[in-house]
Amino acid sequence: MAAAGKFNRSNPAVKRILQEVKEMQSNPSPDFMALPLEEDIFEWQFAIMGPRDSEFEGGIYHGRIQLPSDYPFKPPSFMLLTPSGRFEIQKKICLSISNYHPEHWQPSWSVRTALVALIAFMPTNPGGALGSLDYKKEDRRALAIKSRETPPKFGSPERQRVIDEIHEQMLSKAPDVPQLLTNGSDEDANKLTPPDVSGEHAGTSAEGVNTSGSANTDLPKPDSESEVAENIVEAQSDVIPRDSVPRVVAAPQNPVVTIQKPKHDRLLTLAALGLTLAIMALVIKKFFKINGLAGYIEGKF
């Protein structure tokens, strides 16, 4: 890119981002397109194609990615700009690949990985996650048609120029929006799965991560991105939405233990009580005798 020379290429994050830009330009995808801003390569504009065989098919959905300064060791944040009925617009969304859940992020993942996963997330159940919506299929289909008409308006003139460029290229290769599904095929539509996703998680191991702090890790091959996306979507089901009420489990109370005294202890207690009373009686009698009141004690007047 033209402005790449003004960035510090010795910075690990900058090196990684420029590496991803080069990789995406050499291996373009028909399902998405993403470009960083020339003035700030940590901010990307992107557009994804609605997943096939879903109510989003044929739609063009724009968004914004903000990469952290310590990328790729920390996850990016995502914001959708095009109404879809699945995500709120201009609000950061909560996904297992986003900065809401850094514990799930793998440094070997990339912007490409995240976009493939985002497409796979589109037809899944929102589950109450932050930034998610759950519109009816016919409403989502209407929004998919409308998304093709014009790109969203967002930010500075530079951002808008990038958005318009991406929209024009995506529209040139976008398939037509199919007709609404009939009632007879609704059952099949409920069984939708992300397109071409199979295999084991390609990004859960520490391979490719330079423990010395360098971000010049090996990027996943484009052919394996769908495999990574499937496992990311599966991991999302284990993520608890932050706006949900946590389940509180009451701690068991400590039982009150009553210790019953042995029988012989009770007898000793009674004997001690009787002895105490007898001693008190003798003391009182002696007191009266000393003071000339013995007659009252003995019953003499």
Q: Which residues are catalytic?
A: 94
CB 2 within 8 A of CB 38: yes
The residues, ordered by sequence, that sit 6+ positions from 255 with a Cβ below 8 Å of its Cβ are none
- In eight-state DSSP terms, residue 74 is S
State the Cα–Cα distance between residues 117 and 279, nearest whole angstrom.
91
Which of 274, 248, 64 is CA-nearest to residue 162? 64
* Cα–Cα distance, 219 to 108 (Å, whole number): 6
DSSP code of 46? E
3-state secondary structure of 44: strand
CB burial readout 128-138, b (16+ within 10 A) else e: ebbbbeebebe
Q: What is the dihedral of CA 203, 207, 212, 214, to 10 degrees?
A: -50
**Residue 29 has which token pair?**
């995808």
- d(C-alpha 62, C-alpha 59), whole Å: 10
Q: How far apart are CA 4 and CA 25, in angstroms?
A: 14
Burial code (b: 16+ CB inside 10 Å, e: under 16) for 256-295 equals eeeeeeeeeeeeeeeeeeeeeeeeeeeeeeeeeeeeeeee
Going by C-alpha positions, the residue among 18, 14, 203 that lies closest to residue 105 is: 203
